[in-house]
Structure formats: structure tokens, C-alpha cells
Amino acid sequence: MKRRHFLAGLGAGGALALLNQGCRSAGAAARPIQPIRGSWISVWWDDHRHYYWNETCRRFTTEQWQLAIKEMAELGLEHLVLLAVAKGGHAFYDTPLLPRLELTCPDPIGAMLTSADRHGIKFFISSDWYGDWDDRTLLDADLMAKRFQMMQELAARYGRHRSFYGWYWPNEAALTPYYSDRFMQHVNACSREGRRLLPHAKILIAPYFTHRAVDDDTYARQLEQLDVDIIAYQDEVGCRRMTPEQSATAYGRLRRVHDRVPQRALWADVETFAWEGPENQQSSALIPAPFERVRAQLEAVSPYVDRILIYQYQGLMNRPGSRAFAGHPDSTKLYTDYRAWLRSGRRPQGRAAL
């Protein structure tokens, strides 16, 4: 069958998806690897994984939080995702719902957003956690009411910042390979409230078990029903569930299904960490991965995703000599190696098209 007859038989949508896929495949070898355009960031965390920067950030001044945002912007980051607005039974801002965590900076969220306003960073603000994370309580009426109250407080307090770009629902979903009905209901309820509070805000989620991703009709229907703007799938290389090469296969499947539901942007959440102790244990500290691995991760997902975020800059990348240094000593090497590569032209190195 001639190509024009075959494409006509597919219809306009199918033909466009096929042509897009062909263009990606043909251009992958010559296309520069996408740079890092965003990162997760936290105020404080309540387990050992953030050991190398947790207490340092707790002691950050307003000026240090603002400098940290400035340095990320200067490296080319455009989006930041606030991991949580409360953790371990304490909030990071003033709220009647929880006691406030003892911090040197009186308002770290406001400090970050003020700096982001100045330097062109777009923030996704978390909605949680009021209580401990537990998938079984996602639809608990009392917890949902308190979660909405926190969102209302956040919108009232910080919504004036032009850098308050969107919401992030941090209760992560596992692809099994589909979302549970409970998770779908939770996300759509949060999104209704988030859009009511800030109608122009974008909504981001970041599911895991990306190695199980499928591109079938069932998942396409779930994407159509899920009220989010962006899905940043975790690449799971840091968690050792996939190699970079395997992640390319998974994101290729995701690209095909997202092309069928183009209203859901496909981003990557690339894991830039390794483990100091046993892998995937809350008792193990995260340390910077070697840049050679990170570069391979960026190359693997670049042909398929619209944008690359990382988990994370904070603690794992630091400008040498920064007055806002927080993290592992090797974080300066990952920063300088990435910056040198960024300036080199970002071409694939020694690999065929993905």
C-alpha cells in the first residue's frame, strides 16, 4: 500500500501520530540531548534520604533560599516543584491545622517564590502533607477537607506571586500498569479544587513504576479522564528499576499513548541520585550519581518527552563556593560536569538513535 493511501486510511489523528513518531525516530541521532529544565525542591524531610542537606536547609536564611533559586535559574532551570508544604506533623508556613516546623527563615515558601518572581522560575506548589502518606486514605473525607483547607490557605497567602504557576499532587501513583480508581478520584477532586482556587494554574503529577507503562486503549482512556495538565513520569534509574536503555523503551510507549491524548503533556522526572547505603531504603542517604549516568538518562528520554525535570538539584548539585550550599560534597562535581557538558553543545555521544 502506498504511504498516502495508508495514512488516509488511518484518519487525520492516526496519520499525525505516525508522522510525529517517524520524525522523532529520524531526528533522534542528530538532535541535541534536552537539558534539565526543572527540579523538585524541599524545605525539610523526615527521613534519612535527605541527610546531606536536610538540616542545612532547615537553617537557611531568607537570603540563602533566594540565592538558591537564583543559582538554579542561572543554570537554566525554569520550573521547580515544591515536594511538600508540611511533613512529620509540622507545617512550613503558618496554619491552624498543624504546628509550624522550627526554621531559621520565617517563611521559606514565600522566600523561594519571591526569588522565583525575580528570576523567571515557575513553581508548582504541593498540596500536602496534612498527615502521613497512605494510599488507603486518599479519599478519607476528613483528610480531604484538611488538604483543601491547606490549598485554600496557600492560594490566599501565595497566589499573588506570578511564579505560583501550578499545583503538584504529591501522593504518587504506581502504574500497575493503570491508575487505581481511588487515585483517579483523588486527583480529579484535588484538581477541581485547585482550578477553583487558581483557574489558570497548571496541574502536575509524577507517577512511578514507569517500567510497567503501556500504550493501550485502557491507559489512553485513563489519560482522557484524568484532570491534569502534565505528567512527569519517574525514570526509575536512580531507584534501579530501569537502566537508561530500558527507560527509552518505556518513554517510547508513553509517547505513543500521549500522542493520542495530546492535552496531557509528557515530561520526564529523571533521578539524579545514587544511594550511600542499601538501595530504596529510607535509612539510606541519597548521593549524587556520576554525570556519565545522568547524561545517559537525559539522552534516553530526550526523543520522547516535552521537558525534563530532575529529582533533584537540591542537595545533589551545588555551584562551587555558593553561599547557599546544601548537600553532599560531590554535588559540586555533578554541577560542574553538567555545566561543562551544557556548554559543549549537548550532542549524543557514541550512540545510535534511540
pLDDT tens digit string along 113-158? 999 999 999 999 999 876 666 666 788 898 899 999 999 999 999 9
pLDDT at 140: 86
Prediction pTM value: 0.88
In a domain, 224, yes or no: yes
In a domain, 287, yes or no: yes
Closest CA to 85 of 138, 193, 164: 164
Tell me how far apart the alpha carbons of residues 12 and 326 are, in angstroms, rounded to a whole number.
Answer: 51
In a domain, 354, yes or no: no
In a domain, 5, yes or no: no
In a domain, 114, yes or no: yes
What share of the chain in percent tops pLDDT 90?
Answer: 78
Number of domains the chain is built from? 1
Residues paired with residue 90 on neighbouring β-strands, in sequence order: 87
Tell me how far apart the alpha carbons of residues 230 and 205 are, in angstroms, rounded to a whole number.
Answer: 7
pLDDT value at 254 more than 70: yes
pLDDT value at 294 more than 80: yes
Tell me how far apart the alpha carbons of residues 291 and 296 are, in angstroms, rounded to a whole number.
Answer: 8
The runs of H, that is alpha helices, within the chain are 3-27, 54-58, 62-74, 108-119, 141-158, 181-197, 217-225, 244-260, 291-301, 331-344
Q: What angle is formed at CA 331 by the lines to CA 326 and CA 336, rounded to 5 degrees?
A: 125
Cell numbers describing residue 63: 537570603
**Domain of residue 266, residue span:** 13-342
- In this prediction, residue 165 has a pLDDT band, given cuts at 50, 70 and 90, of very high
- In this prediction, residue 346 has a pLDDT band, given cuts at 50, 70 and 90, of low
In a domain, 352, yes or no: no
pLDDT value at 2 more than 50: no
CATH label of the domain that carries residue 137: 3.20.20.80
pLDDT value at 13 more than 80: no
In a domain, 348, yes or no: no
DSSP per-residue letters across 267-298:
EEEEE-EEESSSTT-TTSPEEEPPHHHHHHHH
Distances in whole angstroms, Cα of residue 53 to Cα of each of 7, 24, 121, 272, 334:
54, 39, 22, 15, 16
